[in-house]
């Protein structure tokens, strides 16, 4: 399944300006790998005023909001990892009073009954 490509408003305006400077639809489509009908749609939007500076600003806001969302997700993930590692560090540094062995385990402290 093909994925739709998205283009910035600045790029759309550039292509429209090239067309208005007597470039043919076929040449523009070939050079930028665009469908001629897409260029026609952009031309209609330009004539309607949809590709003006406000539209460029709206595109930038959307891009920035998407970037902020991605960064917030990354910060949340890293905060969870940090809390996990802090917990692991607390458990790893327990003070041990006696020597331990992998085979026998920790040494047994004498009970009150054995001490008398």
DSSP result, 50-109 = TTSHHHHHHHHHHHHHHHHHHHHHHHHHHHHHHHHHHHHHHHH-----S-EETTTEEPPP
pTM: 0.47
pLDDT single digits (tens) 12-46? 989 999 999 999 999 999 999 999 999 999 999 89
Q: What is the mean pLDDT of residues 74-80?
A: 96
CATH architecture of 1-50: Orthogonal Bundle (1.10)
Domains of the chain, residue spans: 1-50, 52-90
Amino acid 20: pLDDT: 93
């Amino acid at each position: 399944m093909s994925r739709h490509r998205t283009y910035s408003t600045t790029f759309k305006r550039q292509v429209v300006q090239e067309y208005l400077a007597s470039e043919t639809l076929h040449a523009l489509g070939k050079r930028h790998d665009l469908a001629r009908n897409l260029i026609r749609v952009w031309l209609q939007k330009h004539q309607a005023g949809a590709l003006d500076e406000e539209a460029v600003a709206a595109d930038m806001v959307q891009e920035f909001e998407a970037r902020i969302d991605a960064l917030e997700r990354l910060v949340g993930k890293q905060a969870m990892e940090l809390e996990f590692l802090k917990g692991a560090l607390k458990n790893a540094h327990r003070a041990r009073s006696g020597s331990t062995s992998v085979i026998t385990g920790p040494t047994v402290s004498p009970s009150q009954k054995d001490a008398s």
